[in-house]
Amino acid sequence: MAKAEQTDQIVPNAESDAVHAPVEIDAAPVKDVREKVGDVFEGKAEALERIWQEFEAQHPTKNLLQYVIWRSEPLRDKAAELLLLQNPTNEDLCHLFFYKYKNHSILRNAWNKLLSQNPTEDHMRYVMNCGFVERWSSYYFEAADKLLSMRPANKDLCNLMVYLNKRREEIAGKILNQNPSIKDLQEVMQWVPSFVEKAWQKFLTYNPTMEILESMLHQNEHVAGKAAAKLLQQTLSDRQLRLIMEKAPSCTESAAALLLNQKPTIEDLRAILETIPSLREKAAGLLLNEQCISEKDFCTIMKKVPLYKEKVAERILSQEHAFGGELQAIIAEVPSHREKAAVILIARSNNKYELVGIMRTVESLCYKAWEKYITCHPTSDEIRQIIKEIKPLRSEAEAILPAIEKEERMLEPLFQAKLLSPPEF
């Protein structure tokens, strides 16, 4: 990574190499300490104190000490302690916060010295940017407190508002009193629910564009609801209406009503049918006009929209190949077409559960369904369930139960020996 020239200015968001690599240093001591520190990394830790004493005797400059802090973890604490004794500038002190030290008092001493030297907002920002990433999070909050006392700009306040949970209302009040931009107001509404109404009134004075309002649909529910209500006063595309339905629950019904008058897709109609009771009849009517309507759509309409039950049932029964799920739905939801659907299902189905459903629901076809059912190899447990639940068939079920139990006893050794696969339902 290219090394930037060190200046008196703090660069809060710069990469570590660019911020901390000194430029004007004595090449000979650097080469000497680099080689000797290399020995320490190779396991010769016993020489550490001697190496440091030799290095310290050469009266290294602050720039050179910063280089050692940057590049030598074994000597970092010693170099930092020596730097603190050399009248460090605020910039020197800020740089210390980028690293971890075994001796925690180093950062405490650096912090106290920094506070005594009239630090600027830039210095506080730098400590915060280092402290929050590293484990010295206490310095982040101390620097934040100090920054708040300096009347920082709204940009700083917005950053602080994200992390200082307990002081969000206080910070939001400061932002609103400092000529907030439209972006500042968005941040306040995102993070401080109790200030949404105040911030919203100021926000409206900027005449926000549709693009800005649309972006706010992705914020919290309170903000999304206000943005959606404002958007609904304008002409919106299908895409924007779908986004409002998804992101702003308080405006879902209004957006859906508009969408039904435009060009809703099948997926739009299905979503409205499932989630918005007041619009189900209209959505169902439009869905029934579609060519690609599915079995599930028919079943949903019969279950949720009484107005169309008869129409849907007639349409299904007129088809040459009605699905089992559709016929079951007719049996469950449309009494006037129940028997016709049951007759078709009995003729087509070998599904024991569908046949049991007919036996429970359509009394006139109970015995006909039973005759088909006993050809589907019911188990003894299933027969006992019929004895318990379906009274008209109790005697018939009791009559065949012994024979089924005998067959199961005969087959049990074959199942245990894994010579027979389990029955498929």
pLDDT score of 18: 37
Tokens of 66: 């910063």
275-316 residue pLDDT tens: 999 999 999 999 999 888 888 999 999 999 999 999 999 988
Its sign, for the CA torsion 277, 279, 282, 287, is negative
Confidence of residue 54 (pLDDT cuts 50, 70, 90): confident
Separation in Å, CA 12 to CA 9, 20, 66, 96, 229:
9, 12, 17, 13, 40
Find the Cα–Cα–Cα–Cα dihedral 17, 18, 21, 22, rounded to 10°. Answer: 180
**Any idea how long the chain is?**
425
Half-sphere exposure of 337 (CA within 13 A, CB side): 21
Tokens of 114: 């920094």
Angstrom distance (rounded) from CA 253 to CA 303: 21
Confidence of residue 36 (pLDDT cuts 50, 70, 90): low
Q: What is the per-residue DSSP string for 14-31?
A: S-HHHHH--SS--HHHHH
Backbone angles phi, psi at 149, to 5 degrees: -80, -5
Whole-model pTM above 0.85? Answer: no
382-399 residue pLDDT tens: 999 999 999 999 999 999
Q: Is the pLDDT of residue 28 over 70?
A: no
Angstrom distance (rounded) from CA 282 to CA 276: 11
